[in-house]
């Protein structure tokens, strides 16, 4: 959530940033926020003045009664009663203004970093780099949704989508035999690599309350994309980012604990409402999937260096998996609601002849921290440390379904599917046949 002080002091910057995001009615919304903010501050000043007068009158009453001036004391009591009524009315007006201000403020997305390119859709994203040679497959090579039918246990598929439909519905596959073992191998590999890189592992809940969803920006923006447990008022997590970042909600972190680096594996749940077409076949888009997530909390001056480090880390995983990939800098119209800058990593699917997104790495600057009230008292060497909001970052490292799809498709041969060398010690086999 943007800070009102920042909007007041940087109106033109905010308007330019919202324009880059193609945010509808940006001038009207910003003007509404500034008007409400001025009303709030004027009402607060008036309330403070009335309360000060009321306290002064209350002190006078005792002195007047003590001196025997009952007439003046009764007049002061009447004035005090009027001031109490006025203060009550002002407090209610202030509450209503603050509610309206908050309701408008939560609809405003984060301001893009200066390096974010303008644009309206994924077609306008900037290709930062491309790495690795695209494999040439043998004649008769197939996409993973056909390939899995050949290699499962007991004559069944390696990944059973129909069985998942029977148990739960479309988008909830069942991994079987070597498919299940390969899933577990990737999870353990990703976690081990994160530990080597200095991330501390946590295993968070996979359901969160409304405050947690609000803190990281999923609510109210993505409410329709989340599964909701009605009776308990809990949301199934769309990513481990939500519970891990919320570990630090309402926390003042000592400066000496920064940076915070966490990693966690969780299943993730997304309704993916409105998704259809050939591009969502097989593992390309699911309602439930596994993901390892990295989360960082940084001093503001260090967060963009941390973002580049996270990008390099994710790229290192893709290199170890021997997958050709490219890095995109998302344009203003394709970024997530809370992000200031996002890099997407996409791997090449040789059988589908298309790029598949497997990771997003984002810097949210203070946007989440303002909602979370996540702060630190940082010593700048010019006196006592001042309390300030921290920067939060997160990245997929990695999401499993499309990684698995690319491994199956890119490594298929007439004799079976080759397993990347780094995964062999984890899964116990070097080929699926």
Residues belonging to the chain? 433
The answer to whether 255 touches 379, Cβ cutoff 8 Å, is yes
Tell me if 357 is assigned to a ligand binding site: yes
Q: Distance between CA atoms of 213 and 11, rounded to whole angstroms?
A: 28
- What are the helix and strand counts (H, E) for the chain? 13, 18
How many Cα atoms sit within 13 Å of 97 on the Cβ side? 19
The answer to whether 262 touches 380, Cβ cutoff 8 Å, is no
The 8 Å CB, 24+ separation contacts for 222-231 are: 222/337, 224/271, 224/273, 225/270, 225/271, 225/272, 225/273, 226/269, 226/270, 226/271, 227/269, 227/271
The angle at the Cα of 27, spanning 21 to 33, to the nearest 5 degrees, equals 105
Tell me if 87 is assigned to a ligand binding site: no
DSSP 252: B
The answer to whether 43 touches 97, Cβ cutoff 8 Å, is yes
The answer to whether 255 touches 268, Cβ cutoff 8 Å, is no
Cis peptide before 304 (omega within 30 of 0): no
Q: Mind giving me the DSSP string for 211-225?
A: HHHHHTT-TTTTGGG
Tell me if 354 is assigned to a ligand binding site: no
How many Cα atoms sit within 13 Å of 195 on the Cβ side? 10
Tell me if 266 is assigned to a ligand binding site: no
Tell me if 223 is assigned to a ligand binding site: no
Tell me if 358 is assigned to a ligand binding site: yes
Q: Mind giving me the DSSP string for 380-407?
A: -SSSSPEEEE-EEEEEEEEEHHHHHHHH
Tokens 């799809």 found at = 405
The token pair at 363 is 């810097």
Tell me if 270 is assigned to a ligand binding site: yes
The token pair at 33 is 């926020």
Tell me if 272 is assigned to a ligand binding site: yes
**CB count in 10 Å sphere of residue 5:** 9
Tell me if 359 is assigned to a ligand binding site: yes
Helices within 197-254 (DSSP H only): 210-215, 241-245
Residue numbering of the annotated binding site for ATP: 270-272, 357-360
Residue numbering of the annotated binding site for L-serine: 239, 270, 293, 394
Residue numbering of the annotated binding site: 239, 270-272, 293, 357-360, 394
């Amino acid at each position: 959530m943007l800070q009102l002080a920042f909007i007041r002091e940087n109106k033109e910057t905010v308007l330019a940033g919202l324009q880059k995001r193609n945010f509808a009615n940006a001038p009207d919304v910003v003007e509404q926020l500034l008007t409400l903010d001025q009303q709030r501050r004027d009402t607060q000043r008036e309330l403070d003045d009335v309360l000060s007068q009321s306290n002064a009158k209350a002190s006078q009453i005792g002195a007047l009664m003590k001196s025997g001036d009952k007439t003046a004391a009764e007049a002061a009591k009447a004035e005090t009663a009027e001031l109490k009524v006025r203060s009550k009315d002002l407090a209610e007006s202030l509450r209503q203004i603050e509610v309206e201000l908050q309701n408008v403020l939560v609809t405003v997305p984060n301001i893009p970093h200066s390096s974010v390119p303008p644009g309206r859709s994924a077609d306008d994203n900037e290709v930062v780099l491309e790495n690795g040679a695209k494999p040439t497959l043998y004649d008769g090579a197939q996409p993973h949704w056909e390939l899995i039918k050949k290699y499962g246990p007991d004559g069944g598929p390696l990944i059973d989508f129909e069985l998942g439909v029977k148990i739960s519905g479309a988008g909830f596959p069942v991994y079987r035999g070597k498919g299940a073992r390969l899933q577990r191998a990737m999870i353990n590999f990703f976690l081990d690599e994160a530990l080597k890189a200095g991330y501390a592992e946590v295993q968070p809940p996979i359901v969160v309350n409304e405050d947690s969803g609000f803190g990281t920006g999923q609510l109210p923006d993505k409410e329709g994309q989340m599964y909701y447990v009605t009776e308990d008022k809990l949301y199934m997590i769309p990513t481990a980012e939500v519970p891990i970042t919320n570990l630090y909600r309402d926390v003042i972190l000592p400066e000496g604990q920064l940076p915070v680096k966490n990693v966690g594996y969780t299943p993730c749940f997304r309704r993916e409402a409105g998704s259809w077409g050939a591009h969502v076949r097989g593992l390309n888009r699911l309602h439930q999937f596994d993901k390892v997530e990295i989360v960082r909390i940084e001093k503001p001056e260090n967060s963009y260096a941390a973002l580049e480090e996270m990008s390099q880390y994710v790229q290192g995983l893709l290199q170890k998996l021997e997958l050709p990939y490219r890095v995109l800098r998302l344009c203003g119209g394709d970024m997530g609601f809370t992000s200031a800058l996002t890099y997407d990593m996409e791997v090449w699917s040789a059988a589908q002849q298309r790029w598949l997104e497997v990771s997003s790495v984002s810097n949210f600057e203070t946007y989440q921290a303002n909602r979370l009230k996540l702060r630190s008292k940082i010593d700048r060497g010019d006196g006592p440390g001042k309390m300030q909001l921290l920067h939060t970052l997160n990245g997929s490292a990695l999401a499993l379904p499309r990684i698995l799809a690319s491994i199956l498709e890119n490594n298929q041969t007439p004799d079976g599917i080759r397993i990347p060398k780094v995964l062999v010690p984890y899964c116990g086999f070097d080929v699926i046949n």
